């Protein structure tokens, strides 16, 4: 099952839609392929859907954020002994200037929060939807002899503006509740937002 699906929106054929289900070894290639295909389809803006994305591997998340950012920092990893590891934007992003909005909700967690937080902090894209889960810690798990396990936090993740994800999550720039029924209100609002931005340009 691919981690990335994409299509041109029926209701707005100039808007490309990319849904990332999770971050696996294949995500970096899949996101690049999606962006290239949507460029060939002559889309003029993008929706990146990170809703209900539980996270996954950190390197593909950094690679994904890097496709939209020209340079700078994606995240800081701060370990228990105050050692700091910096993950920088990888050069060569193919979609660093196209108008972008990111959909998030309470199921957006971990590596997905890294991507959303980087795009938000760099002012690259607003987050729309609901507050994210707040899982931004590296945990070591020790199995104990009685069958239980001990979870020890070895590091926490900070966004480029040094906002701690763990226990706090990210607050959307534009709050849109998911609503009931089959209609995707958050997606509809994202389309409205991109179209109104274009009218204002």
Q: Which CATH architecture has domain 4-200?
A: Alpha-Beta Complex (3.90)
Banded pLDDT at 181 (limits 50, 70, 90): confident
- Return the pLDDT at 100: 98
Give this prediction's pTM.
0.94
Mean pLDDT over residues 30-49, rounded? 98
Residue 198 pLDDT more than 90?
Answer: no
Judging by DSSP bridges, how do beta strands 127-129 and 174-175 pair with one another? parallel
Determine the pLDDT at residue 171: 98
At residue 42 the predicted structure's pLDDT band, cuts being 50, 70 and 90, is very high
pLDDT of 190 > 90? The answer is: yes
The string of DSSP codes covering 36-99 is: HHHHHTT--EEEEE-TT---B-HHHHHHHHHHH-SSSEEEEEEETTS-EEEEEPPS--S-SSS-
The mean of the pLDDT values for the chain is 96
- Active-site residue list: 110, 121, 135
Task: State yes or no: pLDDT of 201 exceeds 80.
Answer: no
Query: For position 56, what pLDDT does the model report?
Result: 96
């Amino acid at each position: 099952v691919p981690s990335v699906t994409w299509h041109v929106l029926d209701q707005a054929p100039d808007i490309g839609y990319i849904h990332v289900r999770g971050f696996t070894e294949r995500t970096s290639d899949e996101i690049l392929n999606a962006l290239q295909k949507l460029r060939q389809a002559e889309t003029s803006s993008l929706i990146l859907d990170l809703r209900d994305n539980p996270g996954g591997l950190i390197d593909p998340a950094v690679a994904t954020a890097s496709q939209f950012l020209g340079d700078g920092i994606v995240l800081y990893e701060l370990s228990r002994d105050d050692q700091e590891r910096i993950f920088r934007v990888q050069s060569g992003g193919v979609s660093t200037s196209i108008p972008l909005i990111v959909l998030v909700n309470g199921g957006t967690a971990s590596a997905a929060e890294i991507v959303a937080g980087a795009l938000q902090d760099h002012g690259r894209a607003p987050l729309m939807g609901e507050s994210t889960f707040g899982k931004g810690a590296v945990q070591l798990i020790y199995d104990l002899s009685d069958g239980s396990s001990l979870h020890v936090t070895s590091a926490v993740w900070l966004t480029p503006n040094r906002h701690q994800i763990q226990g706090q999550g990210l607050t959307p720039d534009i709050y849109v509740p998911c609503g009931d029924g089959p209609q995707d209100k958050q997606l509809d609002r994202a389309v409205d937002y991109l179209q109104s931005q274009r009218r204002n340009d």
